[in-house]
Chains A and B, each alone.
Chain A
Amino acid sequence: MNVVDLVDVVKTYDSEPPVHALRNVDLTVAAGEFVAVVGPSGSGKSTLLNLVGALDRPTSGVVRIAGQDISALNDAELSGLRGHHIGFVFQSFNLIDGLNAADNVGLGLVYSGVPASRRNALAREALDRVGLAARADHAPGRLSGGERQRVAIARALVGEPALLLADEPTGNLDSVTGASIIETFQRLHQDGSTILMITHDQTLAAATPRQVTMHDGEIVAEPVPA
Chain B
Amino acid sequence: MSEPTPAPTDSARLRSRLLPRDVFGVGTVGLRTRKLRTVLTATGIAIGIAALVATMGISSSSRADLGRRLDALGTNRLEVQAGASFQPGTTPALGDDSVVMIRRIGPVQYASGITTVSATVRRTQYVSASETGGISVQATDADLAATLGAGVREGRFLGAADMNLPTIVLGPGAASTLGITSLRDGPLVYVNGTWFTVVGILDSAPLYPNLDTAAFIGAPIAERLFKTAVAPSSVFVVTQPGQVDPVTAVLAATANPQSPGEVQVSNPSDVIKAKNAADNTLTALLLGLGGVALLVGGIGIANVMVISVLERRTEIGVRRALGATKGHVRSQFLVEAILLSTLGGVLGILLGVGITVGYAAVQGITFSMPAVAALIGFGAAIVVGALAGISPAGRAARLAPADAIRPA
Contact = CB atoms under 8 A, between A and B. Distances in A.
Interface string A1-18: 110010000000000000
B13 A82 contact: no
| Interface residues of chain A: helix, strand, loop or mixed (majority) | mixed
Contacts of A98: 29-30, 32-33
Given A81-B14, A98-B33, A111 B328 contact: yes
Interface stretch (B19-27, B96-104, B219-227): B19-27
Interface string A130-152: 00000000000000000000000
Contacts, number: 119
A167 B116 CA distance: 101
B388 to A, nearest CB: 22
Nearest to B328: A111
Contacts of B322: 82-83, 88, 107-108, 110-111, 155
B326 A56 contact: no
B7 A67 contact: yes
Contacts of B19: 113, 115
Nearest to A94: B318
Contact of A99 (B2, B17, B29, B401): B29
B1 interface: yes
A24 interface: no
Interface residues of A, number: 44
B11 interface: yes
A80 B401 CA distance: 13
B22 A116 contact: yes
A108 B325 CA distance: 13
B18 A90 contact: no
Interface size class of B (residues with CB under 8 A): 35 or more
Interface stretch (A71-79, A174-182, A211-219): A71-79
B5 interface: yes
Contacts of B183: none
A124 interface: no
A172 interface: no
Given A1-B5, A67-B6, A79-B320, A84 B32 contact: no
Given A80-B14, A113-B18, A69 B26 contact: no
A72 B318 CA distance: 23
Given A53-B321, A67-B7, A110 B402 contact: no
A113 B5 CA distance: 26
Contact of B402 (A55, A67, A72, A112): A55
A50 B320 contact: no
Interface in A11-36: 28, 30
B16 A55 contact: no
B390 interface: no
A186 interface: no
B242 interface: no
A155 B323 CA distance: 12
A91 to B, nearest CB: 9
B400 interface: yes
A111 B4 contact: no
Contact of B14 (A5, A50, A53, A77): A77
A76 B402 CA distance: 15
Contacts of A96: 29, 33, 315, 318
B17 A111 contact: yes
Contacts of A86: 321
A68 interface: yes
A191 interface: no
A167 B33 CA distance: 27
Which among B4, B6, B321 has the highest number of chain A CB atoms within 10 Å?
A: B321
Interface of B: 1-2, 4-8, 11, 13-19, 21-22, 25-26, 29-30, 32-33, 314-315, 317-328, 400-402, 405-406
15 contacts: A2-B4, A50-B402, A55-B321, A55-B401, A55-B405, A68-B14, A77-B15, A81-B14, A82-B323, A98-B30, A107-B319, A111-B16, A112-B17, A112-B323, A113-B17
Given A98-B33, A107-B322, 6 more contacts: A64-B4, A67-B7, A68-B7, A77-B15, A79-B325, A84-B13
